[in-house]
């Protein structure tokens, strides 16, 4: 069943290609595939919560390295999020791609499916080697999505995207992997890490290599690819750059910190602190940059960079609460950010507006979209009644537990900044000056129905996650348990 979650999206590729001349069939295939994936991940979830482990080992490639999968709670969480949001995004993209009259739609759906199956591979990877393989496949399969428009700007964005991601992964991640393998002879994810006392010194050097190497986690100064990738069509930005790709990044960081280094070792490494403050700086700086962006998608992109820093901080705090908050933030931020991107796309399709300054009074023309935007913003900021509250809560506890008051301040400051750059958009959309002539011509002009449907679902998701956090929380707790991390609260 584990294998199927990867094979179904990949298997839908030939079907999508075969149906290229019949858009309805093609998109039907996508939807069916994503429904099957949801069924699969859900039933895997029941299996896992029943306490059974699922493992799968491929043939050995060389030197004891093999493609191997094992489901553990964190991967389960990630795959659940990705699986569900794939369906929503598929619905959304049908409306968006048609509404926007995009070219090469078959290529779009094909690459999308491949990307999702590699995300599943990342989520279930049982060792670093497998994770790396799927990490690279994800980079390569999303490249055509980023350059989808085929314009010079898109090509440039694609170059930066591929350049940064491949550079970091080959230069740092691969290097760190080979170094780790050379030192310890294994790349397995093990509770408590794989380094021992004798290799701790080298681990201090390897940690930054890993953290920078996972370029998808967008730690400054390797965050440039994310804003560049925003040339992609909005569904791509939404799923891939709010959920799949960036979350694959922070997921990898979290996994490496917990299962390769182990939190005990992490606290003793001198490089942890430096990286921690670098992540903190990323959080604040990216928020500051976001404030100055007029283009809505660019603003959201920098906001993502900043939010990714939260998860990295959670991982590097090396406490139970930190890891818990990091894991939860993966899911919470995914729902919040995907809503915002969906809204940005909806605005673009319906009114062809891309700049924040043009969006005054838009709330009267697109009430549903703007309401969803408001909810998404609240979740990103971390205000009740939205899911983002909880993850930030645990992250802050983690910061307090380790007496890192500066970090605590950073997290608070960043939340304030979030308010400053996100809330004005819905506020201006609804409460405009009466002199503004935008309102006089206001007619309801919403985005296509699939688009609205998708963004409402995710917005409601944000709220549901506030009241009904228990499964997510339990999954995150199970992750701590599986990794052998003590957690009191």
Partner 1 sequence: MISHFPILQVIIPLLAAPLCLFLRIPRLVGLFAILASLTAFLISFALLNQVIETGTIEYWLGGWEPPWGIEYRIDLLNGYLLLLVTLMSTIVLIAAQTSIEKELPENRHAFFYVAYLLCLTGLLGILATADTFNLFVFLEISALSSYTLIGLGTDRRALTAAYQYLVMGTIGATFIIIGVGLMYMMTGTLNMFDLAERLPAVSNSRTILCAFGFFIVGVCLKLALFPLHLWLPNAYAWAPSVATAFLAATSTKVAVYVLIRYVFTVFGVSFVGVSLPLGHIFLVLGLAGIFAASVAAIYQLNIKRLFAYSSVAQIGYMILGLAMGTKLGLTATLLHLFNHALMKAAIFLAIGAVVYRIGSSQLYHFAGLGRKMPLTMAAIVVGGLSLVGVPLTVGFVSKWYLVVALLERGWWPVAILVLISSLLAVIYVWRIVEWIYFTPARIIMDDVQEAPLTQLIPIWILVLANIYFGIDTELTLGVSNLAAQSLFGQ
CA atoms within 13 A on the CB side of 288: 8
Q: Report how far residue 241's alpha carbon sits from residue 114's, in angstroms, rounded to the nearest whole number.
A: 15
Please provide residue 102's backbone torsions phi and psi, each rounded to the nearest 5 degrees: -75, 155
Site for partner 1 in 142-181 (CB under 8 A): 144, 147, 150, 154-155, 158-159, 162-163, 166-167, 170-171, 174-175, 178-179, 181
Q: Does 62 bind partner 1 (CB under 8 A)?
A: yes
Is the Cβ–Cβ distance between 329 and 251 less than 8 Å? no
Q: Does 132 bind partner 1 (CB under 8 A)?
A: yes
Calculate the CA 468 to chain-centre distance: 21
Applying CB under 8 A, the span of 54-62, 309-317, 393-401, 429-437 interacting with partner 1 comes to 54-62
Applying CB under 8 A, the span of 81-89, 131-139, 310-318, 358-366 interacting with partner 1 comes to 131-139
Q: Does 56 bind partner 1 (CB under 8 A)?
A: no
CB of 381: closest distance to partner 1 in angstroms?
Answer: 38
Q: Does 221 bind partner 1 (CB under 8 A)?
A: no
Terminal C-alpha separation, the chain: 34
- The residue (of 170 and 406) whose beta carbon lies closer to partner 1 is 170
Per the DSSP assignment, residues forming a β-bridge with 60 are 66
Which among 6, 216, 57, 239 has a CA at the least distance from the CA of 145? 239
452: left (phi > 0), else alpha (psi -120 to 50), else beta?
alpha
Q: Does 133 bind partner 1 (CB under 8 A)?
A: yes
CB of 178: closest distance to partner 1 in angstroms?
Answer: 5
106-127 burial: b if 16+ Cβ within 10 Å, else e: bebbbbbbbbbbbbbbbbbbbb
Which among 79, 396, 75, 390 has a CA at the least distance from the CA of 259? 75
Q: Does 202 bind partner 1 (CB under 8 A)?
A: no
CB of 62: closest distance to partner 1 in angstroms?
Answer: 5
- The residue (of 119 and 410) whose beta carbon lies closer to partner 1 is 119
- The residue (of 63 and 489) whose beta carbon lies closer to partner 1 is 63
Helices and strands in the chain: count of H runs, count of E runs: 22, 2
- The residue (of 96 and 132) whose beta carbon lies closer to partner 1 is 132
The residue ranges that bind partner 1 (CB under 8 A) are 59, 61-62, 67, 132-133, 136-137, 140, 144, 147, 150, 154-155, 158-159, 162-163, 166-167, 170-171, 174-175, 178-179, 181-182
């Amino acid at each position: 069943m584990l294998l199927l979650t990867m094979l179904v999206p990949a298997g839908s590729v030939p079907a999508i290609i075969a149906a290229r001349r019949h858009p309805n069939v093609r998109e039907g295939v996508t939807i069916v595939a994503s429904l099957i994936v949801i069924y699969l991940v859900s039933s895997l979830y029941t299996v896992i919560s029943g306490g059974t482990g699922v493992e799968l080992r491929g043939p050995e490639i060389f030197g004891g390295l093999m493609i191997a999968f094992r489901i553990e709670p964190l991967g389960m969480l990630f795959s659940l999020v990705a699986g569900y949001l794939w369906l929503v995004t598929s619905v959304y993209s049908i409306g968006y791609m048609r509404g926007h009259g995009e070219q090469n739609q078959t290529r779009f759906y094909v690459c999308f499916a491949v990307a999702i199956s590699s995300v599943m591979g990342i989520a279930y990877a049982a060792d670093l080697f497998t994770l790396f393989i799927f990490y690279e496949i994800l980079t390569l399969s999303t490249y055509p999505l980023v350059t989808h428009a085929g314009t010079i700007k898109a090509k440039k964005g694609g170059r930066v995207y591929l350049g940064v991601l491949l550079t970091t992964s080959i230069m740092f991640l691969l290097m760190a992997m080979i170094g780790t393998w050379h030192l310890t002879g294994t790349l397995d994810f093990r509770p408590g890490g794989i380094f021992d006392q004798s290799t701790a010194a080298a681990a201090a050097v390897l940690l930054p290599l890993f953290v920078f190497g996972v370029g998808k986690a967008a730690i400054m100064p390797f965050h440039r690819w994310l804003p560049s990738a925003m040339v992609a069509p909005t569904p791509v930005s939404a799923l891939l750059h709010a959920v799949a790709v960036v979350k694959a990044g922070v997921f990898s960081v979290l996994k490496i910190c917990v299962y390769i280094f182990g939190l005990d070792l992490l606290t003793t490494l001198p490089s942890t602190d430096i990286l921690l403050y670098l992540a903190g700086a990323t959080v604040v700086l990216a928020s500051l940059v976001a404030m100055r962006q007029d283009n809505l998608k660019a603003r959201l992109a920098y906001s993502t960079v900043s939010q990714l820093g939260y998860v990295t901080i959670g991982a590097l705090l090396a406490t139970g609460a930190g890891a818990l908050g990091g894991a939860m933030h993966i899911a919470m931020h995914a729902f919040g950010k995907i809503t915002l991107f969906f809204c940005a796309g909806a605005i673009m399709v319906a009114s062809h507006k891309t700049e924040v300054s043009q969006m005054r009074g838009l709330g009267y023309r697109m009430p549903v979209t703007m309401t969803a935007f408001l909810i998404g913003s609240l979740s990103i900021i971390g205000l009740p009644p939205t899911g983002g509250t909880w993850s930030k809560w645990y992250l802050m506890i983690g910061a307090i537990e380790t007496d890192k008051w500066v970090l605590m301040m950073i997290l608070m400051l960043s939340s304030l900044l979030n308010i400053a750059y996100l809330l004005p958009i819905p506020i201006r959309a609804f409460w405009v000056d009466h002199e503004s002539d935008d309102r006089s011509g206001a007619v309801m002009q919403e985005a296509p129905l699939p688009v609205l449907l998708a963004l409402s679902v995710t917005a409601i998701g944000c709220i549901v996650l506030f009241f009904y956090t228990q499964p997510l929380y339990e999954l995150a707790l199970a992750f701590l348990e599986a990794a052998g991390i003590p957690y009191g609260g």
